[in-house]
Amino acid sequence: MNIKSVIAYRIDDIINVLVLADLPRPCDYARIYGTYPGNIYHVADPGKAEVYIEFYESPETCSTVIQPWLSSVHIKDTAYNEVDVFVDGGSVVSVPIFNYSMPQPTTFYLR
């Protein structure tokens, strides 16, 4: 699995993480299985949000053609400014989190 790009942005208290990667073959599979904060727990705070990806290499025979893979996850957090992405337990990339705020609705008065 080859991570091509990771984009992380926060709107209010939700971090949105988009991961774009290449799988080596169409029969291989990957999935996001965990996040910190979320369903992954640490004894000591790592100081960053984290995304965990599991890569499955299929035992079946199939053509060696690169297969694009895209997945996203939401993490409820306001404290961290970076996201680390792990594939099969190994750290692959660390990216900054861009902060965006939603514009407040404008009230219009009709006369």
Per-residue pLDDT, 51: 97
Count of structural domains within the chain: 1
In a domain, 106, yes or no: no
Helix (H) / strand (E) element for 67: namely strand 67-76
Query: Is 3 within 8 Å of 87 (Cβ atoms)?
Result: yes
- Apex 4 CA angle, 89 and 101, nearest 5: 90
In a domain, 108, yes or no: no
φ, ψ for residue 4 (rounded to 5)?
-95, -40
In a domain, 111, yes or no: no
In a domain, 77, yes or no: yes
29-88 pLDDT per residue, tens: 999 999 999 999 999 999 999 999 999 998 988 888 899 999 999 999 999 999 999 999
In a domain, 42, yes or no: yes
96-107 pLDDT per residue, tens: 999 987 677 766
In a domain, 107, yes or no: no
Per-residue pLDDT, 109: 67
Mention every residue, 6+ apart, whose C-beta is less than 8 A from residue 90: none
Per-residue pLDDT, 53: 97
3-class SS of residue 39: coil
CA 28 to chain centre: 19
- Note down the domain range covering 53: 2-100
In a domain, 78, yes or no: yes
